[in-house]
Amino acid sequence: MERMIGNQEEPLDLKSIIDSQSQKINKHEVSSTRMENQNSTQMTQNETQSRGSVERRKCCTHEEAQEHHQQMELERNLKHQRLINERVNTEAQSLHQVER
């Protein structure tokens, strides 16, 4: 038995139908995979471009970041030193009061 598809005759035996459907599915899967790969590649390119611009900004402000880090460290050290001085003063005052 045969049937007409477009201008082509296609046999209606089960194996031929399965093969034909398998080929269509494979073509669809290949097409879908290509589209997924293209979308993935586009996303990756966009991410790279986004990260690249951020990285460029970081590179441009690297010295400023170092200065900021040093400033923060100095402020922490100063705050720590003040706390130590307050404790020492408090202990000195309490010792001085005990001596009286």
* C-alpha to C-alpha distances, 24 to 17, 39, 46, 77, 89, nearest whole angstrom: 11, 22, 33, 71, 86
Would you say residue 95 has pLDDT above 90?
Answer: no
Would you say residue 5 has pLDDT above 60?
Answer: no
Using one digit for the tens of pLDDT, what is the confidence trace for 14-36? 777 777 777 877 776 677 777 77
State residue 97's pLDDT score: 84
Using one digit for the tens of pLDDT, what is the confidence trace for 42-93? 666 666 666 555 555 555 578 888 888 999 999 999 999 999 999 999 998 8
Q: Where are the beta strands (DSSP E) in the chain?
A: 2-5, 8-11
Per domain, the residue ranges of the chain are 14-60, 64-100
